[in-house]
Amino acid sequence: MYNKNDMTAPGIGYQDLRLMQGYPPPREKQVRQHNWDSPPYNRWSFQHMSQLFPVAAIHRGPGPVSELKRNERSLDDVHFQRIDGRQTDLATFLTDSYTDGFLVLHQGKVVSEQYFNGMQPHTLHLLQSVSKTIVGSLVGRLIGQGRIDPQAHVSHYVPELSASGYGDARVQDLLDMRTGVRFREDYTDPDAEFIQLDIASGWRERGERESPDSIYGLLKSLSKDREHGQFFEYRSVDTDMLAWVCERACGERLPVLLSREIWSRLGAEQDANITLDCVGTALADGGMSATLRDLGRFAQMYLQGGHFNSQQIVPETFVRACGRGSTPAFEVLYGYYTKHYPTAAYSNQCWVLDSEQGTYSARGVFGQSIYWDPAAEVAIVKLSSWPDFINPEWTLDTFRACAAVVEELQRH
C-alpha cells in the first residue's frame, strides 16, 4: 500500500492529488512553468502540454484511421529480475515505475493496452526524446526521396552556419549523435548548455541567466569542441539541427512536414502536437505529444521495416540501420550500458540494445520508451511520469521487463 500523504508515491495519480482541480485551482495545486517537470506536478503536465505551452498541431490528415487488430491477454504475472536482483512481476513494475500508458504489439496485434494516472486512449502524452526518433523517421523519408543527402554538411542546407560549430558536420553525424559541438546534456547543472536549450524553447524561466532566446539562436551560438564523426555523445541539439536541415531542404515548418510525411500516413486516430519557442520553432528534440495507440502505430511501422497502412513510409534500409551501430563509438562515454548490453550503440536517432540481434529502442527522460524486437515481431510502448529526469536502474529494468514480455509471447 502507498502512503496517500506522499505526493510523489508511484500509486498516486494527479486526480488523487487534485492537481489543477478547482475554479481556479488552489495555488499549491497549480502547475506552471516553474514546476511543470518536477514531481508530482509532471503527473498532470505530461498529459496537458497544450495547456502550458504554445503548440502546433501535427495533423492526422483526412484519411481513415488504420485498424489495430487485437489479441489481448493479461501479462500482469510476467516475472523478471530487476537490476538489483529482486524478482518482480510486470503489474508491480508498471505501478512502481510511474507508468501512464503501456502498449504491447505482437505480430501486428495489440496484446495489452493499459492506462494509469488518469490517462485515456484519446489523451496526448508528452514523448520527451522519443520525439527524436520520430524526427529521425522524417529525415529517413526525405533521404529516400533524395531531398536530403546524409553525407552533406549542415552548411549545405543552412549556409549561415558555415562558421559555427555545426558548419562542417554531416547529416549522418547528427543522426548518430557523433558531432563535436560543445553541449553538455546535464539536466541539473544551471550552467550547462542544456539549460540554455530549455530557456530557448520556452520550457524554463530565464531568471537572471543570459542565453539565446530561440532554439535556432542557440544552435548558431554553439562552438566546436572536437572533430565531428568521432564518438557518440548524447546531445539533444543534434535533433534540433536535423529539424532545421529538414525545414531548409523542404521550405516548410517541421509540424507540417511531420504531418504530411509521417503522421497522416500512419492512419493516426488523433492529431499529435509539438511545443514552440517564441518565434514558432518546434522543439524537435522532445516537444511532441501523442496518444499511446498512435505511438503504437509508429512503433509497428518501424517493426515492419518502415511499411505500414499499405505503404512504405520510411525506407527499409534506414529503419533496419536503427538496430545496428558502432559499439566502439558508443562505449567511449556509455560503458555502463555495454556492461549489460555488450553490443549496444546509437544509430539514426535510436538506442541500439543488441547490434547482433537488431533489438533497439527510442528513449526519453522521465520514462518514455519504445522497445523493438523485430525478430520476435514485438513492439512495446511505455509512457511514464517518473519523479526524476534519469534513472538508469529503471531504464534497465524497463528493458528487462520488455525482454520478459517477449519471452512470454514467444512461449505462448
Distance CA 304, CA 52 (A): 36
- In the chain, DSSP finds a helix count (H) and a strand count (E) of 15, 16
**Residue 341 region by backbone torsions, left for phi larger than 0, else alpha for psi between -120 and 50, else beta:** beta
Distance CA 134, CA 287 (A): 11
Give residue 27's identity as a one-letter amino acid code. Answer: R
Give residue 350's identity as a one-letter amino acid code. Answer: C
**Residue 9 region by backbone torsions, left for phi larger than 0, else alpha for psi between -120 and 50, else beta:** beta
**Residue 368 region by backbone torsions, left for phi larger than 0, else alpha for psi between -120 and 50, else beta:** beta
Q: What's 64's DSSP letter?
A: P
Answer yes or no: are the C-beta atoms of 379 and 296 closer than 8 Å.
yes
Contacts of 274 by beta carbon, 8 Å cutoff, 6+ apart: 55, 56, 58, 131, 254, 255, 258, 282, 283, 284, 287, 288, 289
| DSSP strands (E only) in 265-367 | 272-275, 288-290, 307-308, 311-312, 345-347, 350-354, 359-364
Strands 109-115 and 69-70: parallel
| DSSP strands (E only) in 19-119 | 55-58, 69-70, 79-81, 87-89, 99-106, 109-115
Q: Which residues are annotated as catalytic?
A: 129
Give residue 377's identity as a one-letter amino acid code. Answer: E
